[in-house]
Structure 1
Amino acid sequence: MKSFKKTLATLAAALTVASGSVLAAYPEKPINVIVPWDAGGDSDLTTRIWADAMEKELGVPFVVINKTGGNGIIGTMFVAKAKSDGYTLINAGLSNMFVTPNFSKTPYNLESFTPVLKITSAPLGIVVAKDSPYKTFDEFVAGAQSKTLTMGSWGASSSGTVLGNIIATQAGYAPKYVHGQSTAESMVSVVGGHIDSAIAFPPAFSPHVKADRARVLVMNQKMDTFPGVPTFADYGIKGNFEAWSAIFAPKGVPDEVVEKLVEASAKVMQDPKVLEAFNNMGTVVDFRHGPDWIADMKGTYSLMKDEADKARK
């Protein structure tokens, strides 16, 4: 019996050492990073900048995969059910991680994932075409009060529509939403003259504004990239209207994997070329990780849940 117990103890020790060696070697193969939205949108562009930099830092391919459908549910659910080994990650954000699970029935929620790190945040804005008759937000509101104006968003229960409704209610108008698959798609419709406006984030509208094809009427916060653009607060609209991009792993991923990803990200997020790439997109680098960030997220998630509960009454 003693010999049997000794054998088990030896085997357990060997497995522990082997497991530690595997984790120490992470990553040993390509890492798939799922984007649950179309290529060219905010999340996609943010993910590719981060993934390219991480690939150089860690020496393994970071493969960005656009797994779209169901207002972000398809790709998010795929990662929630993936193996918790650190080789399948997702760039999640306000919409698929906070809004959809609370306003719709989904097979996942925030507790289905292990938060790894936050990459960026992006202030929400209302955008029109360059030749739009609405030169200011005041003019836009007046126009929307006199007739129904169309506004591009990316799903009936998306963060764009939820936040857009909060803004519209406070400003006193009710837009008719035209839902696409991404903010990039909405911007194409705006500059093409197919819709009156879009609610979007800088990664999607910045190229069109810089090319003088679109105009930002109002944003969540002032940015040097868009001088002179007023904020929602300037018009007395209360609330924080921003999107964010963060990396999540399936629930149960080893702490060592999270630490390795955070450590590498901390280095690449200080690279001037990476910072410049994010700045050119119009996003704000907002690198966070750890207990304080996770606690803040859970607090916001609870607030969103409360809003969803009110909407159902």
Structure 2
Amino acid sequence: AVEALLAGGARIHWQHPGRRDGAFFPPTLLLAEEPHGEALHRVEPFGPVATFFPYRDREEALRLLRMGGGMLAATLATPDPEEARFYLLGLSGEVGRLHVLNQRDAHSSTGHGSPLPRLLHGGPGRAGGGEELGGLLSVKRHLARLALQADPHTLQALTGEYARGAERPTQVHPFRKHYEELEVGETLLTHRRTVTEADIALFAHLSWDHFYAHTDELAAKESLFGKRVAHGYFVLSAAAGLFVDPAPGPVLANYGLEGLRFTEPVGIGDTLQARLTVKAKRPRDERTGVVEWAVEVLNQEGKTVASYTILTLVARKAQGNRP
């Protein structure tokens, strides 16, 4: 392979002296000063060999990368989400997995080794496919599936959906913002509320839910929880009271809730706090957009007691005031 590259116009830029008493190929760096020659892209040397391809701008770099005829995996070293998006869109049909490397994820980088079993390790074209083409997997394969690996901030910027770990605290309550002003990842951490016995009793009377775990001290001690606990729907209501801004504003309606999980019991004396994050957004019509909010309800120990997604309709700015 190295001989073919040398014949195609590359030259040896550096080579380790190596060992002469074994079947070892010395680490070698080649330089292709005329990088567009087809022969340089026809052969891919494995082992301790790499080739430098100089380029003038990112458009030329993308053209050179696409001349390779398919890649298993590629690493892009950049802290700039816009640059990462450019290469992601340009290479999605050429590479099995794109690894975006920067200062946020370098300490935990797996390189080209797959960090998760479900991440694709195999590529199109010369890379050999790497997956069996059965059933719906075949459809996905011919749609040129791509596994994207990056830090949470870059993942969020590239996909337009909230990635845990990429929260951005906001000083303005997000319910005071129009659809165009909201940014994915924008997060509000609310004030706190301590649950009292009166809260549980009043909610039981209001809802007619007198389940023993909420209302019977003796029976609750023998329950799974070992004590009286608050209703799950009280926790939801209390969380809404923590994160909802009551004044009229751009948020018009709450029309759904998805993925609700109660993960820790809430007892008398526990203190609740809510974290509200813009998870995703999409325009609906000329007047409104749909905003998905990730909600985490935390206790005084920082443990998540409930998590879910709420769906809201949010007013859009007048046509002339949109970005």
TM-score normalised to the size of structure 2?
0.23
TM-score normalised to the size of structure 1?
0.24
Higher relative contact order (CA 8 A, sep 6+): 1
- Higher fraction of helix: 1
Whose Rg is larger? 2
- Higher fraction of strand: 2
